[in-house]
C-alpha cells in the first residue's frame, strides 16, 4: 500500500483528491491542512513530511489571490515558489514523488489555440510568475515529479472564508439587485476539481513523471461560464458582458488559456467531460451538500 500525503487538503482540489483517494484501497491517505503544515516554512514542511514518510505528496496549497499578488508578491512567492520548493526538496530526501499543481496563467494568451506543454510560458501577472517559479523549483529539487497545469477550478469543497470560486461569486452577486458584468474576452476551460482529482489519481498510478495539462473539455469566456451558471441555477440577474479593459483588474490575465490535454490522454487517461456537463453535475452535488 502506498502512503500518500495531500497538502492543502481542505481546499477545493485538496477536498476532491481526499474524496477520490479515500475510496481507493491502494493508498494510505494522510491529509494536511494549513493547521498541520506551513509550506512557507521549511522546518514545518520537513517535520510534517518526514514524520509521515509518504511515497507521494500532492501539493495543492497555494496563495491563489491573483489580484492581491500584484501588491503582495512576497506572499505569492513564499507559498507558490519557495514553499513548493521546500515540499519538493523534502520529497526528494525521502524518495517521494512530488505533485505540484500549476496554472494556465503561465501562458500569455497570444497563441489562440490550446497550449501544449511544449509551448513557452510567458506569465502576465505576479501570481502566475510565482507559480512558474514553483514549477522550476519542483523540477530542480525532485526528479520524480508531476506538474499538472489546470484552469478555472471550482469544486464543492474548499475555503469557507468567502466566495470560494467564480460560481459562488456569481451566485452571491445575484442576491443583490446590482448589474453583474463579466469579461467576454478571456477564454479558458472551467474545470471541476472532482474530474481533475480523478485524472490526477490516474496520473500518479503511472510513473510517467513530467508536466501535464489537465482540464475539462471545450472552452468558453468567463462571460459564457457565468451565463451557464445562471441558466443551470435558474437565476435571472441583470447579467451582461464587458471587456477586460472596461472591467479593469490589477493583474493582467491571458486573453486565451485553453490547454491541450493530448499528453495526458496518451497515457490512457480518458479525456475529461465537457465543461458544461461538469458544471451541471457540480450543481447537482452542491444541492445535496
Ligand X SMILES: NC(=O)c1ccc[n+]([C@@H]2O[C@H](COP(=O)([O-])OP(=O)(O)OC[C@H]3O[C@@H](n4cnc5c(N)ncnc54)[C@H](OP(=O)(O)O)[C@@H]3O)[C@@H](O)[C@H]2O)c1
Catalytic residues: 127
**Main-chain phi, psi angles of 192, to 5 degrees:** -80, 125
169 binds ligand X (CB under 6 A): no
Per DSSP, 105 falls in state G
C-alpha angle 245-246-249 in degrees, rounded to nearest 5 = 65
User: Which region among 54-62, 114-122, 253-261, 273-281 touches ligand X (by CB under 6 A)?
Assistant: 54-62
In the region spanning residues 75 to 94, those forming contacts with ligand X, defined by CB under 6 A, are 79, 83
Using CB under 6 A as the binding criterion, the count of chain residues that bind ligand X stands at 28
Number of helical H runs and strand E runs in the chain: 12, 12
Q: Residue 178 is placed in which grid cell?
A: 446590482
109 binds ligand X (CB under 6 A): no
> Site for ligand X (CB under 6 A): which residue of 5, 49, 64, 88?
64
129 binds ligand X (CB under 6 A): no
- Comparing CB distances to ligand X, the nearer of 180 and 188 is 188
Closest approach of Cβ 186 to ligand X, in Å? 13
122 binds ligand X (CB under 6 A): no
Q: Which residues pair with 191 in a beta bridge?
A: 153
Q: Which residues pair with 219 in a beta bridge?
A: none
User: Which region among 11-19, 205-213, 232-240, 255-263 touches ligand X (by CB under 6 A)?
Assistant: 11-19
158 binds ligand X (CB under 6 A): yes
Rg (CA), the chain: 18
Residue 23 CB: number of other CB atoms within 10 A? 9
User: Which region among 57-65, 223-231, 236-244, 273-281 touches ligand X (by CB under 6 A)?
Assistant: 57-65
Q: Residue 18 is placed in which grid cell?
A: 481526499
Question: Cα separation of 69 and 251, whole Å?
Answer: 8
- Chain residues in the site for ligand X (CB under 6 A): 8, 10-14, 33-34, 37-40, 60-64, 79, 83, 101, 103, 131, 150-153, 158-159
Amino acid at each position: 500500500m502506498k502512503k500518500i500525503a495531500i497538502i492543502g487538503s481542505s481546499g477545493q482540489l485538496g477536498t476532491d483528491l481526499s474524496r477520490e483517494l479515500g475510496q481507493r484501497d491502494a493508498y494510505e491517505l494522510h491529509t494536511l491542512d494549513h493547521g498541520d503544515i506551513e509550506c512557507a516554512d521549511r522546518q514545518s514542511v520537513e517535520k510534517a513530511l518526514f514524520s509521515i514518510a509518504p511515497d507521494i505528496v500532492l501539493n495543492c496549497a497555494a496563495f491563489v489571490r491573483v489580484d492581491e499578488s500584484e501588491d503582495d508578491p512576497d506572499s505569492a512567492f513564499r507559498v507558490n515558489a519557495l514553499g513548493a520548493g521546500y515540499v519538493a526538496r523534502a520529497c526528494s530526501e525521502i524518495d517521494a514523488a512530488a505533485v505540484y499543481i500549476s496554472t494556465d496563467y503561465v501562458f500569455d494568451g497570444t497563441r489562440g489555440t490550446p497550449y501544449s506543454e511544449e509551448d513557452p510560458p510567458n506569465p502576465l501577472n505576479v501570481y502566475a510568475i510565482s507559480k512558474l517559479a514553483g514549477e522550476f523549483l519542483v523540477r530542480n529539487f525532485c526528479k520524480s515529479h508531476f506538474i499538472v497545469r489546470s484552469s478555472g477550478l471550482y469544486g464543492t469543497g474548499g475555503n469557507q472564508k468567502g466566495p470560494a470560486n467564480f460560481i459562488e461569486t456569481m451566485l452571491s452577486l445575484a442576491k443583490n439587485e446590482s448589474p453583474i458584468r463579466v469579461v467576454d474576452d478571456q477564454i479558458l476551460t472551467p474545470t471541476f476539481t472532482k474530474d481533475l482529482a480523478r485524472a490526477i489519481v490516474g496520473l500518479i498510478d503511472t510513473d510517467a513523471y513530467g508536466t501535464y495539462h489537465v482540464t475539462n473539455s471545450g472552452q468558453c469566456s468567463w462571460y459564457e461560464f457565468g451565463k451557464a451558471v445562471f441558466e443551470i441555477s435558474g437565476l435571472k440577474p441583470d447579467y451582461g458582458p464587458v471587456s477586460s479593459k472596461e472591467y479593469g483588474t490589477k493583474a493582467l490575465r491571458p486573453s486565451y488559456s485553453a490547454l491541450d490535454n493530448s499528453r495526458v490522454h496518451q497515457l490512457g487517461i480518458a479525456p475529461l467531460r465537457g465543461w458544461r456537463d461538469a458544471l451541471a453535475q457540480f450543481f447537482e452535488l452542491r444541492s445535496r451538500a
